[in-house]
Structure 1
Amino acid sequence: MASLSLRSGGLRLSRLYRTNIRPALASIIGNREFSSQPEQGAIDGKGYLMGSEKSTMRAAVLWEPKKPMVVEDLRMPRPKTGEVLIKTKACGVCHSDLHVIKADQPYPSPVVLGHEITGEVVEHGPHTDAATLKRVPVGARVVGAFIMPCGGCFFCVKGEEDLCETFFKYNRGMGGLYDGSTRLYQASTGRPIFMYSMGGLAEYCVVPTHAVAPLAPSLPYTESAIIGCAVFTAYGAMKNAADMRAGETVAVIGTGGVGSSCVQVARAFGGRQIIAVDVSEKALTNAKKMGATHTVNASSENVVDRIREITGGRGVDVAVEALGKAPTFVQAIQAVREGGKAVMVGLAPAGVTAQVDIAKLVRRKVQIIGSYGGRARQDLPTIITLAEMGFLKIESAVTQKCSLEEADATYAAMDRGEITGRAVVDIDPSLGSA
């Protein structure tokens, strides 16, 4: 037995994607430290849809881990070159934020959390190229992905934007954007406030242009926020990591926001048997609505035995672990067939390890693949189109909505296991649901 650390990986597109979904899509698609000084210069309002009088915004600030978030006034952020300012419509409530709140993941504070958003473009940074102005003009409805690729690092050039080293160094490592500074400052003091991804729990947010994609007019603003992480992560796991093929069998262990999205994507890719595993009957009922063909209640059934029973003793082609816990990590490995793929998307607190049988891993060619999100420029437009076509039912995946003032309480409810599926913070009701 030996400890094993997760690795990201990606393979080819699924056969279903190549033969069924891609043609359908084609038919409808014609190094610096952070500055402690606030941004200088008055807001002139140019490009803002709400007028020039707006100089502050509201945001939910986590001043320190394990403390409640507080809604504060921050200075209006300004986009720099390669960035857009978005008037935030909605932001999803994700366990990744909870890891920061609970100090399971070290992160600079104070910080504005929230990393899957929808909204309206209100300003471009200076020197924006013509292609970007055409793709996401002022007034465009957009989705923002939590992995915000720089577009020019070693991995981005290779097309592996989910490994963007600039994002992981400057945002996940230092809490800002790619010039080495944050865009957020407290209105009253000018104190810098860090950003988790774009800091979506705010009325406005600055996002690198590579991380945004136009939102189809037919898709609702609020529910579409989950496209930027929950669905984005599920799609990356199934397409890039698992290379899922039509007719394969899939088990999803943990059917919260990301897990239930994995069920949906597996169904869209033509999964023959899709087995949802959870300890909550409510979550399993929801997973059935998302497309699961079978459910296993881990609180009363032996997960691995039941999965093998459903699959005729063989195990599944693909098992997805969406909880980030050592026992379920092992379950996913044990649940796959010989030569199968165990894809790990659940984030665990730093330092958590799990044990595997190396001999079985080697002799039976079991693949263990880490997967963290998708590839924004490649995957985000496709996901949006899949939702537009009805392959993904995002409205059914959102089970709770709240206001910005209720965000902290909603994260607490998620921590207590009281939210099935995904919750979304409706930050600007004035933009409407459509």
Structure 2
Amino acid sequence: MPTMKAGRMNFGTGEFHVQDVAVPSPGHGEVRVKVNAAGVCLSDVHLIRGLVRPLRNGDAERTLGHEVAGTVDAVGGGVEGWTEGDRVALQALVAKPWGVDTMGVDYDGGWAEYVVVPHGVLVAIPDSLPFEQACIIPDAVSTPWAAIQHTAKVKPGEAAVVLGVGGLGIHAIQILRMSGAAPIIAVDPLPGPRENALRRGADAAFDPTQPTFVEELHAFLGNRGVDTAFNFAGFPGIDEQILPLLSPGGRLTIAGLSGNPFTVENSVALIVHQQRILGHYGYLPADVEQLVRLVHWGRLDLRDSVSAVLPLEHAHEAVRQLETKDGDPIRLVLVP
């Protein structure tokens, strides 16, 4: 039986290894994809470190990787419209009666030479879109897109704050600008991401670790509140800092998976001002297709979003770089 390299996480033992496993075969309704690029996300780091676990089958062993692009390699029975060699990006979410199954968590992902997926998750990508950019559209781009468009329902002219300007937050800056939000404020403890946010379209950037952070942000807004805030980072304490700054009817959307609790210190203000704390996860299938078109037509630029490309065998090093913010990476990409 042919084998391949795969980055496997044993959620029962908490161990992660790149190891040899059997090459999977597609079943009915499935397609095998030869992986050309797979993104490394902070949620992958959290899975490896045990900060986040699968909601079901918590002791399972899985190949990680939920940001994947490649070419169709083999087609199972009952699949029409796809042929060997087709260039594709893979949506990571599969709708189920209990919610969604996530690639790299609930079923094997793309930190591997090949991955088998339901044919419905395939999204065609043009020849002009490099695999390294295409692979990060599912999640790094589509998650902030859906958080902004669907969950928070941002309107033109609303004051927006992005908390954490890494792989998701930096694309939120660009999408908020496309959506007409104004002003757009980036919040991150590291100077590199703050500078990057200003280059990508933020109107201001602040360090939340500074004692004057809240006063500076409030002054920049002209003593008005924040209409919509997005936590894409999950760093401790930021939700407590931003909640008092929300305007009446303001929304805090939390998309960064951290597993950390937070406290609503003034629940009376939350109720009286009808503010909202919203959880956000994932995206809709049409979002990835729409974003591929936006990138293709130059409305969204991902050329500077891939900080480095590493071989799959160096997955541990990619995780280390992302976890320690070594070089302030936006997205790291593994190539089998």
Given the two structures, how large is their TM-score scaled by the length of structure 1? 0.71
Structure 2 Cα separation of the partners of residues 281 and 410 of structure 1 = 21
Task: Give the direction of change, closer, same or farther, for the CA distance of 1:314–1:347 in structure 2 (3 Å limit).
Answer: same
Alignment of 1:33-182 (within 5 A): 55-63=2-10, 67=15, 69-106=16-53, 107-128=58-79, 133-134=80-81, 136-150=82-96, 153=97, 165-167=99-101, 172=105, 175-176=106-107
State the one-letter code of the partner of 1:418: D
Contact 1:225 1:424 in 2 (8 A): no
Contact 2:64 2:104 in 1 (8 A): no
Task: Give the direction of change, closer, same or farther, for the CA distance of 1:313–1:300 in structure 2 (3 Å limit).
Answer: same
State the one-letter code of the partner of 1:274: I
Larger gyration radius, structure 1 or structure 2: 1
| Cα root mean square deviation, aligned | 2.2
1:394 to 288, 302, 307: 302
Stretches of structure 2 that go unaligned for 5 or more consecutive residues are: none
Task: Give the direction of change, closer, same or farther, for the CA distance of 1:66–1:289 in structure 2 (3 Å limit).
Answer: farther
SS of the aligned residue for 2:250 comes to strand
Matched, 1:206 2:157: no
Structure 2 Cα separation of the partners of residues 206 and 347 of structure 1 = 26
Matched, 1:282 2:228: no
Q: Which residue of structure 2 aligns with residue 31 of structure 1?
A: none
Alignment of 1:335-414 (within 5 A): 335-349=245-259, 352-376=261-285, 378-414=286-322
SS of the aligned residue for 1:396 comes to coil
State the one-letter code of the partner of 1:252: V
* 1:113 to partner: Cα distance: 0.8
Matched length = 331
Structure with more of its chain in strand, by fraction: 2
Structure 1 Cα separation of the partners of residues 32 and 308 of structure 2 = 27
* 1:73 to partner: Cα distance: 1.8
1:270-315, CA deviations, whole angstroms, 9 ceiling, x for partnerless residues? 2221110011101111112222111102233533322221221112
Stretches of structure 1 that go unaligned for 5 or more consecutive residues are: 1-41, 43-54, 154-163, 177-194, 429-434
Q: Which residue of structure 2 aligns with residue 220 of structure 1?
A: 130
Contact 1:260 1:421 in 2 (8 A): no
State the one-letter code of the partner of 1:99: H
SS of the aligned residue for 1:123 comes to strand
Alignment of 1:240-389 (within 5 A): 240-300=150-210, 302-349=212-259, 352-376=261-285, 378-389=286-297
Contact 2:18 2:315 in 1 (8 A): no
Structure 2 Cα separation of the partners of residues 372 and 307 of structure 1 = 27
Structure 1 Cα separation of the partners of residues 70 and 307 of structure 2 = 20
Task: Give the direction of change, closer, same or farther, for the CA distance of 1:286–1:370 in structure 2 (3 Å limit).
Answer: same
